[in-house]
Structure 1
Amino acid sequence: MYNLSSRIDAVSASIKQRAAILFLAIFASFVATASFAQSFTFTSVTIDGNQRVEDGTILSLAGISRGQTISAAQLNAASQNIRETGLFETVDVIPQGSRLVITVVERPTINIINVEGNSEIRDAEVLAVVQSQSRRVYTPAQAERDVAAISELYANRGRINASVTARIIERSDNRVDLVFVVQETGLTEVERISFVGNRNFSDGRLRRVLDTKQAGLLRVLISSDTFARDRIAFDQRLLTDFYQSRGYADFQVLNVDVALTRERDAFLITFNVQEGQKFNFGQLTVVSEIPSASAAEFQAAIGTRPGSTYSPMKVENDIARLERLAIQKGIPFVRVEPRITRNDRDLVLDVTYALVRGERIFVERIDIEGNSTTLDRVIRNQFTVVEGDPFNPREIRQAAERIRALGLFANADVNAREGSGPDQVIVDVDVVEAPTGSLSFGGNYNTDTGLGLVASYRQSNFLGRGQSLSFQISTSESNRVASLDFVEPRLLGRDVRFGFSFDYSTTDNQNALYDTETFDFRPSLGFRVSDNGRLNVFYRAEFTDINDVDPAASIVIQNEADRGRITTNGVGYTYSYDTRRTGLNPNAGVLLRFGQEFGVGDSDFIRTTATAIAETKVFNEEVTLRATIEGGLLDYADNDSRVTDRFFLGNRVLRGFEASGIGPRDNDTDDALGGNKFAVARLEAEFPLGLPEEYGITGGVFLDHGSVWDVGNTFGADVLYNDYTARTVAGISIFWTTPIGPLRFNFTEALDAQDRDRTNSFDVTISTSF
Structure 2
Amino acid sequence: MQNVVGRLWSQTVDAARRLLLAFLLIAVGATIASAQSVTVRSVTIEGNLRVADGTILTIGGIDIGDTLSTAELNDAAQALRASGLFESVDLIPRGNGLLIQVAEYPTINIINIEGNARLRDAQLLQVVQSQSRRVYSPAQAEADTAAITQAYAQQGRINAVVTPRIIPLPNNQVNLVFEVVESAVTEVERISFIGNRTFSEGRLRRVLETKQAGFLRPIIARDTYSPERVAADREVLTDFYRSRGYIDFVIQNVDVALTRERDAYLITFNVREGQKFEFADVTVRSEIEGIDVSDFQDAIRVRRGATYSPVPIDSDVVRLERLALQKGLNFVQADPRITRNERDLTLDLEYVLVSGPRVFVERIDIEGNGTTLDRVIRNQFDIVEGDPFNPREIRDSARRIRALGFFENAAVNTREGSSPSQVIVDVDVVEGPTGTLTFGANFNSDTGLGLVSSYRQSNFQGRGQRLNFELSTAETNRRLAFGFTEPQLLGRDLRFGLDLSYATTDNENALYDTESLRLSPSLSFPVSENGRLAVYYAFEYNDLTDVSDSASQIIQNEALEEGVVTNSLGYNYSYDNRRTGLNPNAGIVLRFGQEFGFGDTQFIKSTGLAGAETKIWNEEVTLRATLEAGHLSYQEGSSRVTDRFFLNSSLMRGFEAGGIGPRSTDLDSDLNITDDALGGDSFAVIRLEAEFPLGLPSEYGISGGAFIDYGSVWNVGETYGLDPLYNDFTPRAVAGLSIFWTTPIGPLRFNFTEPLDVQEFDNTKSFDVTISTSF
Structure 1 residues 535-572: Cα deviation after superposition (integer angstroms, max 9, x where no partner): 01111000111111122222211221111211111110
Structure 1 residues 719-740: Cα deviation after superposition (integer angstroms, max 9, x where no partner): 1111111111100000111111
Q: Any conservation in 2 of the 1:479–1:509 contact (CA below 8 Å)? A: no
SS at match of 1:483: strand
Q: Any conservation in 1 of the 2:243–2:311 contact (CA below 8 Å)? A: yes
Q: Which amino acid aligns with 2:531?
A: G
Match of 2:686 among 670, 681, 691: 681
C-alpha distance in structure 1 between counterparts of 2:312 and 2:318, whole Å: 10
Shift of 1:49: 2.3
Structure 1 residues 650-691: Cα deviation after superposition (integer angstroms, max 9, x where no partner): 211011111101111102342311111111100000000001
Q: Which amino acid aligns with 1:576?
A: S
Which deviates the most, 496-505 or 226-235? Answer: 226-235
1:580 paired with 2:585, answer: no
Give the structure 2 partner of residue 634 of structure 1. Answer: 632
C-alpha distance in structure 1 between counterparts of 2:32 and 2:701, whole Å: 78
C-alpha distance in structure 1 between counterparts of 2:748 and 2:652, whole Å: 18
Structure 1 residues 24-79: Cα deviation after superposition (integer angstroms, max 9, x where no partner): xxx9xx97997599654323333332222233322222223333344433332222
Q: Which amino acid aligns with 1:63?
A: G
Q: Any conservation in 2 of the 1:639–1:712 contact (CA below 8 Å)? A: no
Give the structure 1 partner of residue 315 of structure 2. Answer: 317
Structure 1 residues 91-127: Cα deviation after superposition (integer angstroms, max 9, x where no partner): 2223333323332221111111111000011100011
SS at match of 1:239: helix
1:76 paired with 2:96, answer: no
Match of 1:360 among 358, 361, 365: 358
Q: Any conservation in 1 of the 2:93–2:99 contact (CA below 8 Å)? A: yes
Call closer, same or farther: CA 1:470–1:37 in 2, change over 3 Å.
farther
1:449-598 alignment, distance < 5 Å: 449-598=447-596
Give the structure 2 partner of residue 448 of structure 1. Answer: 446
SS at match of 2:127: coil
Q: Any conservation in 1 of the 2:631–2:682 contact (CA below 8 Å)? A: yes
Call closer, same or farther: CA 1:356–1:39 in 2, change over 3 Å.
farther
1:372-411 alignment, distance < 5 Å: 372-411=370-409
Shift of 1:511: 2.9
Shift of 1:192: 0.9
C-alpha distance in structure 2 between counterparts of 1:625 and 1:32, whole Å: 97
C-alpha distance in structure 2 between counterparts of 1:509 and 1:490, whole Å: 43
Give the structure 1 partner of residue 8 of structure 2. Answer: none
1:424-439 alignment, distance < 5 Å: 424-439=422-437
Give the structure 2 partner of residue 754 of structure 1. Answer: 759
Call closer, same or farther: CA 1:752–1:629 in 2, change over 3 Å.
same
Which deviates the most, 592-601 or 354-363? Answer: 354-363
Give the structure 1 partner of residue 102 of structure 2. Answer: 104
Call closer, same or farther: CA 1:216–1:257 in 2, change over 3 Å.
same
Q: Which amino acid aligns with 1:676?
A: D
1:699 paired with 2:704, answer: yes
Give the structure 1 partner of residue 301 of structure 2. Answer: 303
Q: Any conservation in 2 of the 1:323–1:336 contact (CA below 8 Å)? A: yes
1:188-267 alignment, distance < 5 Å: 188-267=186-265
C-alpha distance in structure 2 between counterparts of 1:163 and 1:36, whole Å: 54
Give the structure 2 partner of residue 611 of structure 1. Answer: 609
Which deviates the most, 465-474 or 97-106? Answer: 97-106
Q: Which amino acid aligns with 1:730?
A: A
C-alpha distance in structure 2 between counterparts of 1:585 and 1:225, whole Å: 31
Give the structure 2 partner of residue 21 of structure 1. Answer: none
C-alpha distance in structure 2 between counterparts of 1:688 and 1:764, whole Å: 19
Q: Which 5+ residue runs of structure 1 have no aligned equivalent?
A: 1-26
C-alpha distance in structure 1 between counterparts of 2:539 and 2:678, whole Å: 23
Shift of 1:156: 0.9
SS at match of 2:490: helix
Q: Any conservation in 2 of the 1:445–1:766 contact (CA below 8 Å)? A: no
SS at match of 2:677: coil
Give the structure 1 partner of residue 286 of structure 2. Answer: 288
Q: Any conservation in 2 of the 1:107–1:137 contact (CA below 8 Å)? A: yes
Give the structure 2 partner of residue 742 of structure 1. Answer: 747
Q: Which amino acid aligns with 1:518?
A: S
SS at match of 1:223: coil
TM-score, length basis structure 2: 0.93
C-alpha distance in structure 2 between counterparts of 1:33 and 1:494, whole Å: 88
C-alpha distance in structure 1 between counterparts of 2:440 and 2:33, whole Å: 82
Q: Any conservation in 2 of the 1:36–1:71 contact (CA below 8 Å)? A: no
C-alpha distance in structure 1 between counterparts of 2:716 and 2:290, whole Å: 64
Structure 1 residues 462-509: Cα deviation after superposition (integer angstroms, max 9, x where no partner): 111111111111111111100011111111211111111110001103
Structure 1 residues 239-261: Cα deviation after superposition (integer angstroms, max 9, x where no partner): 11111111111111111111222
Q: Which amino acid aligns with 1:701?
A: A
Give the structure 2 partner of residue 765 of structure 1. Answer: 770
Shift of 1:645: 0.5
SS at match of 1:208: helix
C-alpha distance in structure 2 between counterparts of 1:36 and 1:491, whole Å: 86
Identity score, percent = 66
Match of 1:140 among 138, 141, 148: 138
Call closer, same or farther: CA 1:394–1:716 in 2, change over 3 Å.
same
C-alpha distance in structure 2 between counterparts of 1:81 and 1:46, whole Å: 18
Q: Which amino acid aligns with 1:570?
A: S
Call closer, same or farther: CA 1:460–1:36 in 2, change over 3 Å.
farther
SS at match of 1:83: helix
Q: Any conservation in 1 of the 2:603–2:636 contact (CA below 8 Å)? A: no
Q: Any conservation in 1 of the 2:600–2:636 contact (CA below 8 Å)? A: no
Call closer, same or farther: CA 1:349–1:71 in 2, change over 3 Å.
farther
Which deviates the most, 166-175 or 33-42? Answer: 33-42
Q: Which amino acid aligns with 2:687?
A: R
The alignment's C-alpha RMSD in Å is 1.9
Match of 1:165 among 163, 166, 171: 163
C-alpha distance in structure 2 between counterparts of 1:700 and 1:482, whole Å: 35
SS at match of 1:439: strand
Q: Any conservation in 1 of the 2:601–2:636 contact (CA below 8 Å)? A: no
Q: Which 5+ residue runs of structure 2 have no aligned equivalent?
A: 1-24, 667-672
Give the structure 2 partner of residue 5 of structure 1. Answer: none
Which deviates the most, 705-714 or 325-334? Answer: 325-334
Shift of 1:597: 0.5
C-alpha distance in structure 2 between counterparts of 1:418 and 1:33, whole Å: 64
SS at match of 1:675: coil
The size of the alignment, in residue pairs, is: 739
C-alpha distance in structure 2 between counterparts of 1:332 and 1:173, whole Å: 73
Q: Which amino acid aligns with 1:64?
A: I
TM-score, length basis structure 1: 0.93
Structure 1 residues 388-446: Cα deviation after superposition (integer angstroms, max 9, x where no partner): 22211111111111111111111111111122222222211111212111111111111
C-alpha distance in structure 2 between counterparts of 1:437 and 1:157, whole Å: 25
Q: Which amino acid aligns with 2:325?
A: I
Match of 1:49 among 26, 47, 50: 47
Q: Which amino acid aligns with 1:471?
A: F
Structure 1 residues 578-597: Cα deviation after superposition (integer angstroms, max 9, x where no partner): 01112121111100001001
